[in-house]
Chain A
Amino acid sequence: MHLLTLEGMKAEEITVLLDSAQSFLEVLDRPIPKVPALRGKTVAMMFFEPSTRTRLSFDRAAKALSADTLSFSPSGSSISKGESLKDTAKTVLAMGPDLMVVRHKATGAPWRVADWTGIPVVNAGDGAHQHPTQGLLDALAIRQRFGALDGLHIGILGDIRHSRVARSDIDVFTALGAKVTLIAPRTLLPPTLDSWTVETAPDLDGLLEDLDVLYTLRIQQERGAESGFPSVAEYVKRFGVTSDRANRLKPEAVVLHPGPMNRGVEIAASVADGPRSLVTTQVRNGVAVRMAVLFSLLGGEQ
């Protein structure tokens, strides 16, 4: 009915979605990359927070399935005039969409929209909580490279505390059998990791030779005094994915980043554009994963 979180999702369910995404990738390779699977359906894009890639990706996915899309931008809309989330959701609902894609800066907002509207909702990122389609596309990129996630050692590096990507990634990576190590200063880890099936490391250097996958998160420099580290220079010195560090990874190891990247901060340009980088694969997978998700929620009715 919805895709709100990856928490608790079973490996089998994940695999079904990833397999479906893999087959939609083939659709995207066709001369006419479009199928009529969701013709007549309307997908409402409810992005209450700025977004470029996720929004474009959902839009592309919906259109590749021949669905129509409705969208608004938060600035210059009724949102900037103080309309409540509930009223906006009800207003858009009255226009007859079949599904809503919701991004909001507050945790749980997509759940509230699901309660208020009664139609399928896809969480496109809520607060620092979940970003399920990102988790799935990341898992797909890793699976494509290694065949499976089972037994891989994946390091997630950076601002895990404030990252919805990290939470969804941890859920999907561990569900598929990977070992996950969080690499961050204490200030960028969640206050407690009780009940999290992860390990932690206070530094990147001691771990490089052991990782199959290094997942680098964006440093949120706009957080200023609450950024959790004394200066960008100090962060880069201890945690930046530099060429030197990338060279110490296993030969087959890969580097991922959810974007947008701060080149030269959490990741060096030479690494982002280098042979280990799966960044463009991630973006491409994003469209296919979102096709798979939209199809799984809307396609069965036909």
Chain B
Amino acid sequence: MTNSILVQGGLVMTANGPTAADVLVEDGVVAQVGPDLTGDTLVDASGCWVGPSFVDLHVHLREPGQEWKEDVASGSAAAAAGGFGAVVAMPNTTPAIDSGYLAQHIANRGAEVGLCDVFVAGAITEGRAGKALAHLDDLWDAGVRIFSDDGGSVADAGLLRRAMEYLEARGGIIAQHAEDSGLAAGGHMHEGVISSQLGIAGLPSIAEEVIIARDIQLVELTGCRYHVQHVSTAGSMALVAAAKEKGLAVTAEVCPHHLALDHTLVLGMSGSAKMYPPLRDESDVAALVAGLRSGVIDCVATDHAPHSANEKEVPFEEAPRGVIGLETAAGVVNDAVGLEPRTFFERMSVAPAKILGAAAHGQWIDPGVVGNLVVFDPTEEWVVPRHGVSRSSNTPWAGKTLTGRVQLTMLNGIVTYQKATS
């Protein structure tokens, strides 16, 4: 009954390493991996990498409450176009996702749309207000495994300790947007040479680092799993490395824009250069690239943050924070970091899937695994369109050339995205 799909001639990421082979996907699973296979529908993957579809631990789908920027349907389509099979939607929506029924609603919407698996992060505190714990059990029962007040930090260390203690026994993860509100007060960009020149109040690196340092102490106390969201400074990297060395359950993600761009982009004063954490200086960029290579940073996450054009077309200080990233992530990482194929898929898929506990994702392509895969051409040069699949277009890469492009994405053996043939 099911049409089989044959992905031909790619470099396939098997558990035993990259192998030149065909991949036959049938009935939603990888049926065979090997030479000279036959199937109904053919996909030419020559020159391409065939691996597990990407997993993004950090996206903003803006539903409910800000659907003019993005919603589950448009965000899922953007994810598929970027090679993603699973995303984690952040809870800083209106209302905040601090209860099970809200989390369930968003997960259900994701399943209805069917273009990628939508996991939901629940708020740590009620309404993300930092005053009282959110309905953590309720969220857990709705399938939430990652908890975050993303958009801001949990400032109250006592409250965070309680959240950690509460979640530790179940293996829940606290994911922190590390930013001390006092040190970052009024800031719009990285505090440094450029901010001093422009007279724009800065977001100092130390604002991120003091929170991570404090939180690692709490991890040591509570044993809770802890994930640092969007690591942006060399100092943060060093803190994460030290925590890992101690054997603490600490993981970290980095955003594509922090691997490729620095604060000099703000000199153009475009709203597309504004995000939190901000673009840092070139030494931070170099440290982050090295950290992703070495594995101190576990994975790439986009912090896909859609905003409409009219919201961003204002003076820099008045622009909302965030850039979209789903459709460009793989190309940017390939361009800026240049990872070997196996490491590339480790950081883009295997590691984040493991952190999330998403068993159907991040599996090396061998017979029997779920048909969640991506075909990625690491050499294709393409110009990022000004308007892509996302409802919003706030990306610093609009009109820029990237090397490395997603050709096809499959979810449960069904094609969710295929590059238009020109």
Contact = CB atoms under 8 A, between A and B. Distances in A.
Interface of A: 7, 84-86, 104, 106-109, 111-112, 127-130, 161-164, 167, 190-196, 226
A220 to B, nearest CB: 13
Interface in B314-363: 314-318
Contacts of A106: 314-318
B193 interface: yes
B186 to A, nearest CB: 7
Nearest to A129: B199
Interface in B290-330: 310, 313-318
Contact of A84 (B185, B186, B314): B314
A261 B191 CA distance: 30
Contacts of B197: 7, 167, 190, 195
Contacts of A192: 191-193, 196
A interface: dominant SS: loop
B110 interface: no
Contact of A108 (B192, B195, B198, B202): B198
19 contacts: A84-B314, A86-B310, A86-B314, A106-B314, A107-B269, A107-B315, A107-B316, A108-B315, A127-B198, A127-B200, A128-B199, A129-B200, A163-B199, A167-B197, A167-B199, A191-B204, A192-B191, A194-B196, A195-B197
Contacts of A112: 269, 314-315
Give the top 9 A-B pairs by smallest Cβ distance, nearest first. Answer: A128-B199, A106-B315, A190-B196, A108-B269, A129-B199, A109-B315, A106-B317, A191-B191, A107-B198
A107 B199 contact: yes
Contacts of B199: 107, 127-130, 161-164, 167, 190
B319 to A, nearest CB: 9
B211 to A, nearest CB: 19
Contacts of A164: 199
B212 to A, nearest CB: 21
A85 B199 CA distance: 20
Contacts of B191: 191-192
Most chain A C-beta atoms within 10 Å of own C-beta, residue among B195, B199, B269, B318: B199
A156 to B, nearest CB: 14
B233 to A, nearest CB: 15
Nearest to B202: A191
Interface of B: 185-186, 191-193, 195-200, 202, 204, 269, 310, 313-318
B200 A195 contact: no
Given A106-B314, A163-B199, A167-B197, 14 more contacts: A86-B313, A106-B318, A107-B199, A108-B198, A108-B269, A108-B315, A127-B199, A129-B200, A162-B199, A164-B199, A191-B191, A191-B192, A193-B196, A195-B193
A129 B185 CA distance: 19
Contacts of A226: 185-186
A226 to B, nearest CB: 7
Nearest to B188: A107
B315 A85 contact: yes
Most chain B C-beta atoms within 10 Å of own C-beta, residue among A107, A109, A112, A128: A107
Given A191-B191, A192-B192, A107 B314 contact: no
Nearest to B186: A226
B313 A84 contact: yes
B315 A104 contact: yes
A191 B318 CA distance: 21
B200 A128 contact: yes
A104 B204 CA distance: 25
Contacts of A162: 199
A167 B195 CA distance: 12
Contacts of A194: 193, 196
Contacts of A196: 196
Given A84-B314, A106-B316, A129 B198 contact: yes
Contacts of B316: 106-108
Contacts of A108: 198, 269, 315-317
Contacts of A86: 310, 313-314
A192 B192 CA distance: 6
Contacts of A109: 315
Nearest to A104: B315
Nearest to B315: A106
A125 B398 CA distance: 30
Nearest to B319: A106
Most chain B C-beta atoms within 10 Å of own C-beta, residue among A108, A128, A191, A226: A108
Nearest to B317: A106
B283 to A, nearest CB: 13
A95 B221 CA distance: 66
A130 B315 CA distance: 15
Nearest to A193: B196
A191 B195 contact: yes
A107 B204 contact: no
A107 B200 contact: yes
Contacts of B186: 226
Nearest to B195: A191
Contacts of B192: 191-192
A194 to B, nearest CB: 5
Nearest to A113: B315
B282 to A, nearest CB: 13
Contacts of A104: 315
Contacts of B314: 84-86, 106, 112
